Amino acid sequence: MKPDIISASGRQGTLVNIVRGSLVDEEAVIAALKSSDLGSAGLDFYCNEPKINSELWQFENAVPDRHLATDIIETRGPIAQLVVDNLAAFFQGQPVLTPVN
């Protein structure tokens, strides 16, 4: 998300990032919070995961979270099954379903 889009949210706007950290310009969010061009932010993904930019903790109107967007019962079963399926594929000499590049 570009700085102009973040600022367009305005002083009453709230940015909620539950997608990939690379989709939101983290420095632009920090700048918009500092200048009050953005009302608030709820963040669950970061540019340099697992590290969270320490500046984000200084704002009373920002809630940085420790990557819990998938921490619900409905996702834990499928995530666990994906791990099992990846391990099975790996040990059978097949390509894994979700390789890390």
Per-residue pLDDT of the chain (101 residues; tens, 9 = 90+): 566 778 778 888 888 887 766 778 888 899 999 999 999 999 887 888 778 888 999 999 999 887 676 678 888 889 899 999 999 999 999 999 998 86
- The residues that are catalytic are 20, 49, 67
**Identity of the amino acid at 86:** N
Q: What is the predicted pLDDT for the residue at 31?
A: 92
- Give the domains, in start order, of the chain with CATH numbers: 3-68 (3.40.50.720), 70-101 (no CATH)
- Among the listed residues 51, 90, 91, the one whose alpha carbon sits nearest the alpha carbon of residue 99: 90
Q: What is the predicted pLDDT for the residue at 65?
A: 82
Claim: this prediction has a pTM higher than 0.85: no
